[in-house]
Amino acid sequence: MKPAEARPQRALVWAPNWMGDAVMALPALQAWAQQSAEYQPHWLARPAVAAVLRAADLPGEIIELPARASVRWPRELRLQCRQVRAELAILLPNSFASALAAWRLGIPQRVGYGRDGRGALLTRRVRRPRPGQYPEHEAYGYWALFAGAGWLPAPPEKLSPHLHLETAAYGRGRARLAAGASGFAVVAHAGAAYGAAKRWPPEYFAQLFHDLSQAGCGITLVGSAAEHGLADFILARSGVSGCNLAGQTTPAELLEVIAAADLVVANDSGPMHAAAALGRPVVALFGSTNDRQTHPLGPSGYAECHVLVAANISCRPCKLRQCPLDHRCMRRLRPDEVAKIILPILHRHAGKAK
């Protein structure tokens, strides 16, 4: 008789809480899913992150968390997680709450970085990599978690997240975009969940949209429901009859809209990371955050990315939510200079298949 094959261990993988972080984690998640056949993955994710995981073609079931974090879970969610009967929990968020939830679910193996006072709740505490052990980008921090647990080798020189949508999704996304006289459709994200210090000034976006509209571009704003008013203000100030989709799309529809864009201009945010992973040309505006740690990453050979950072700003990256000074790191990125970067990119990629 042939020996029975070992059953894969059921693993509950708690994905990062934010869309941008989920995109940066994708190289590690995709490599682990491909190289760890001894595990049967189940993914625990907020709705926006769940949309990213589905577009990443990861194997296994996705269990959606509430959009807002809470220590008290709905009864249905607890039952759904218990029915997985996971033997292993991999915790990508560094929060105490994620480790506590895995412990309460009775999962015998609980693996994550030993941070946020949660070490006693983990059965395997992975140490953060030493300074200089890996490149600075946060994508390598996610890879290092899996490598530190013994599941992945050292990372490749370049990590390349990749999202893929079905062909029909591009048509659905394109139908929702504002297209200008030139046919170019520019998607913009003027918000950022972390705080105002990450956001390019609204009046600068308004001037940029005016300049792009004069060049024949259509403007579509995306974002959360909380950013709908900001998008309305910017469009009104710009004098452009663009389209405000902030808060008007599901996470999956947001990815469709971004995928159909000719170019995406955004602050350091989830839509910025998603655009790069979808292979779209990206112009990323960085202020308070560290572009070396969170610049957009895309698949090998993807369109084009320009990270714009104001020069000679000694106080950045401060990583503050609100600027205590005059927001000079963003205000020195002038709208006319950004427009001069965007327009040649659009013409270089005109007519290229998405």
Domain ranges of the chain: 9-148, 170-348
Tell which CATH architecture fits domain 170-348: 3-Layer(aba) Sandwich (3.40)
Query: From CA 78, how far away is CA 70, in angstroms rounded?
Result: 13
List average pLDDT for each run of 10 residues in the chain, which is 354 residues long.
Answer: 64 97 98 92 97 96 86 85 96 95 96 92 94 94 97 94 95 93 92 90 98 96 96 97 96 98 97 96 96 92 86 92 93 96 90 54
Edge-first strand order for the sheet with 263-267 is 243-244, 218-221, 185-189, 263-267, 282-286, 305-309
Fold agreement between 9-148 and 170-348: yes
Secondary-structure class of domain 9-148 per CATH: alpha beta
DSSP codes, 79-133: HHHHHH--SEEEE-S--HHHHHHHHHTT-SEEEEE--TT-GGG-SEEEPPPPTTT
Rounded to 5°, the CA angle 206-350-235 comes to: 15
Contact 260, 354 (CB under 8 A): yes
In angstroms, how far is CA 350 from the centroid of its own chain? 26
Query: From CA 314, how far away is CA 328, in angstroms rounded?
Result: 10
